[in-house]
Amino acid sequence: MGKNKLAKFEENKLFDHVIEPKLDTYLQSDHELKGHWHEKIFKNNNDIVLELGCGKGEYAVNLGREYPNKNYIGIDIKGARLWKGAKITDQENLQNIRFLRTRIEFLSHFFGENEIAEIWITFPDPQRKKRRRKKRLTHSSFLKMYQNILKPGGIIHLKTDSLFLHKYTKEVIADNKLNIIEETDNLYHSSLYKNELTIKTHYEALFLEGNPTITYLKFQLDSENGLIEPETDDEEFL
C-alpha cells in the first residue's frame, strides 16, 4: 500500500465529517446513527440525499454547494477515494456534507424508515454477468432496501454509461409499476442536460474520452408491495 494512500486514511480520521465505523460495531446491531442523522449530525430537518458508490464524492460536493438547504452523504467503501471529496468539504467548510465509509449492502444498518429523501447512483458497475445479477444496484433486492429508508415518493437517480443497466432498470421499473419522472438514453443530446446533470464524476470524465453515450433515469420508489425482478432474459438488455 502506497504512502499516499496511508496518508489519506490518516487524514480521514481527522475529519469530523467522515464517519468510518468498524464492521463489528454495526453488523451485530444497527449503528447508533440510524434514525438520528438529522438530530445528531446535521442539526436540522432538511432532506437527506445519498450518493451511493460516491468515489471521489463529486456529486455530494457539487450538490452540497448548489443546494445548501439539503444534506448530502457520500457513501463508499474506498477510503482513499472519498478522501478527495472529504478534503474539499473541509477546505470549503461545507456543513451540509458528510461521508460514510461502508458497503452499500449495509445501508439498512445506518438509516431508518423514511430518513432519506433521494438517492443518486452514479456510474456503478453494471454487473453484466447473470450470476452477478443481484449485485446490480437497481436489482429488486437493493430497491427493497432503498424502499425501507426512503420517504414515500422518494426519488432515485441513475446516471450511467451502461445502456445495458439502463434498459435493465427500466424493465425493473415497468414490472413493478413504478413512476419514471425523467429519462433519456442519450443525456448529452437531451434537454435534460442541465443543472445537476452536468456534474461529471471522475469516472464519467474517463468514460467520455471514449465518447460513450450517457443515460439517465429519475424515478420514484413509492410502491408498498414487494418488489419483483423482471423475467426477461438479460440478453434482451444487450
Map 100-112 to HEC letters.
EECCHHHHHHCCC
pLDDT recorded at residue 227: 83
- For the stretch 157-189, pLDDT in tens is 999 999 999 999 999 999 999 999 999 999 999
> For 27-31, 142-146, 221-225, which range has the lowest pLDDT when averaged over its residues?
221-225
Q: Is 234 a catalytic residue?
A: no
**Per-residue pLDDT for 2 more than 70?**
no
Angstrom distance (rounded) from CA 73 to CA 97: 6
For a pLDDT cut of 90, what percent of the chain falls above it? 74
pLDDT recorded at residue 238: 56
Q: If pLDDT is split at 50, 70 and 90, which confidence band does 223 have? A: low
pLDDT recorded at residue 46: 98
pLDDT recorded at residue 233: 64
Angstrom distance (rounded) from CA 183 to CA 185: 7
**Per-residue pLDDT for 211 more than 80?**
no
pLDDT recorded at residue 237: 65
* DSSP-H helix ranges across the chain: 3-14, 58-66, 79-91, 140-149, 163-175, 202-208
- Count of CB atoms situated within 10 Å of the CB of 108: 15
Across the range 118-134, mean pLDDT stands at 92
Q: If pLDDT is split at 50, 70 and 90, which confidence band does 74 have? A: very high
Would you give the DSSP letter of residue 23?
Answer: G
pLDDT recorded at residue 201: 87
Across the range 228-234, mean pLDDT stands at 73
Across the range 147-161, mean pLDDT stands at 95
**Per-residue pLDDT for 1 more than 60?**
no
pLDDT recorded at residue 3: 60
Average pLDDT, the chain: 91
Domains in the chain and their CATH numbers? 3-20+39-237 (3.40.50.150)
Q: 76, 125, 185, 233: which one is catalytic?
A: 125
pLDDT recorded at residue 230: 76
Instruction: Quickly tell me which residue has 444497527 as its cell.
Output: 30
pLDDT recorded at residue 25: 67
The structure's pTM equals 0.92
Find, among 172, 166, 150, 177, the residue nearest to 217 by Cα: 166
